[in-house]
Structure 1
Amino acid sequence: MQPLARFRFRATAPVTLESAAEAIDTAPFCTHVVYDFPDIDPDDLWSIVSSDRMWSWLPFVWGCRYPDDGAEVAVGTVRDFQMFLHHWLIYAQREQILVWEPSARLAYTATDATLPFFGTWFEDYRISARPAGGSRLSWTMAVHVRFLGRLPLRWTAPLFQAIFRFGLRGLPREHRNGLTAVRETTI
């Protein structure tokens, strides 16, 4: 997947599905964002959230790279999330999928990254239908930041929630552009 894998920093404690609730409860940084998409049905929202283009509408994000071997995406699949931080600095994070429920839920943990800051990383995207039509995305991110010990960073959650909500505003543009899922999945 990533040619410079030997230059990665391993996560101190990748999350398992069994340890996810504890990771969320104990993470020094944890944020939860709920965003409604009244014009996007759950299947279409899933196509965007699970695609290789997730977050790529932001100017510094390239998106996710799934395995090139054509394998089905499922629990256990490893992908790379990549972003451009500076003309000489690229950030990549290897993610292992813990939950893959098409049109409903995607959860993953980071196993390593090109920068040493994140010791543990867990994200959980849950999609549901809205009674009035469209869909709702509930997104939780829990991070244990390396080098800062147990410094309580939860006070920064409202700031990051606003930033993340702003970032999600680009998702409908991907929907209008006709984005489709990376590949068909079966469970």
Structure 2
Amino acid sequence: MRMLKKLIYGLLGLFVIFLVIGLMLPTQYEVQRSIIIDAEPEAIYPNVVNLRAWPQWGVWFIRDPNMQITYSGPDRAIGMQSTWLSEVQGNGEVEIVQLEHNKRVVYQLRFVKKNIGSTGQVTLELKPEGTRVTWTDSGKVSDNPMDRYAALMMDDILGPDIEMGLENLKTVVENSG
């Protein structure tokens, strides 16, 4: 009986430590990846500013060919929105919130049912070897310790998808010209 009490107290102690550490973890995260594309910014920008072009290179769209996508708002401008329904990738929406022609597209991403979202940015910077395309996604999680652990791992969770999206964008752009 005494051994069982020690085991229960030990497990309870580990759980408390896990919670306390979780409460000390950050609630903010940022994931960033870059790639060099052998093209001018003018050739890349239309693929990023036009949400209708994202299914050609965005990894999430490629994973679910049955995704239902609708578009609203002004085309290739601030306020353009894409809304999708997907059993594989979840339901969500993205809206363009800032633009700098041939240089930067900023968007807000929301997964409504899960009540999570992020801010993303794709920047284009001309370099001697081509255009450096940098994709950044950042957000904030709740104060829940489990969410904070997830934020700690967000680079490993989201980073590979951003890398693959950039590789796909490179292929689309370099093969279109």
Pairwise same-fold verdict (TM > 0.5)? yes
Kindly state the Cα deviation for residue 94 of structure 1 after the two structures are TM-superposed. 2.7
Q: Distance in 1 between the 2:124 and 2:93 partners?
A: 23
Work out whether residues 39 and 174 of structure 2, in 8 Å CA contact, stay in contact via their aligned partners in 1: no
Indicate how the Cα distance of structure 1 residues 173 and 128 shifts in structure 2: closer, same or farther if over 3 A, else same.
same
Amino acid of the residue matched to residue 139 of structure 2?
V
Q: Distance in 1 between the 2:85 and 2:126 partners?
A: 30
Amino acid of the residue matched to residue 84 of structure 1?
S
Indicate how the Cα distance of structure 1 residues 83 and 55 shifts in structure 2: closer, same or farther if over 3 A, else same.
farther
Amino acid of the residue matched to residue 122 of structure 1?
T
Please name the residue that 1:40 is paired with.
39
Please name the residue that 2:6 is paired with.
none
Please name the residue that 1:113 is paired with.
111
Q: What are the within-5 Å matches in structure 2 for residues 150-165 of structure 1?
A: 151-152=148-149, 153-158=151-156, 160-165=158-163
Indicate how the Cα distance of structure 1 residues 63 and 177 shifts in structure 2: closer, same or farther if over 3 A, else same.
farther
Q: Distance in 1 between the 2:142 and 2:120 partners?
A: 17
Kindly state the Cα deviation for residue 113 of structure 1 after the two structures are TM-superposed. 3.2
What's the TM-score once normalised by structure 2's chain length? 0.64
State yes or no: 1:128 paired with 2:119.
Answer: no
State yes or no: 1:79 paired with 2:81.
Answer: yes
SS of equivalent residue, structure 1 residue 107:
strand
Work out whether residues 109 and 122 of structure 1, in 8 Å CA contact, stay in contact via their aligned partners in 2: yes
Work out whether residues 68 and 85 of structure 2, in 8 Å CA contact, stay in contact via their aligned partners in 1: yes
Q: Distance in 2 between the 1:54 and 1:48 partners?
A: 7
What's the TM-score once normalised by structure 1's chain length? 0.61
Please name the residue that 2:10 is paired with.
none
Indicate how the Cα distance of structure 1 residues 34 and 64 shifts in structure 2: closer, same or farther if over 3 A, else same.
farther
- The structure where helix makes up a greater share of residues is 2
For structure 1, the 5+ residue unaligned runs are: 1-25, 180-187
Q: Distance in 1 between the 2:148 and 2:161 partners?
A: 21
Identity percentage over the alignment? 14
Please name the residue that 1:138 is paired with.
134
Kindly state the Cα deviation for residue 41 of structure 1 after the two structures are TM-superposed. 1.2
Amino acid of the residue matched to residue 168 of structure 1?
L
Q: Distance in 2 between the 1:148 and 1:169 partners?
A: 34
Work out whether residues 124 and 134 of structure 2, in 8 Å CA contact, stay in contact via their aligned partners in 1: yes
Please name the residue that 1:67 is paired with.
72
Find the structure with the greater CA-based Rg: 2
Please name the residue that 1:6 is paired with.
none
Matched residues, number? 144
Indicate how the Cα distance of structure 1 residues 29 and 81 shifts in structure 2: closer, same or farther if over 3 A, else same.
farther
Kindly state the Cα deviation for residue 121 of structure 1 after the two structures are TM-superposed. 1.2
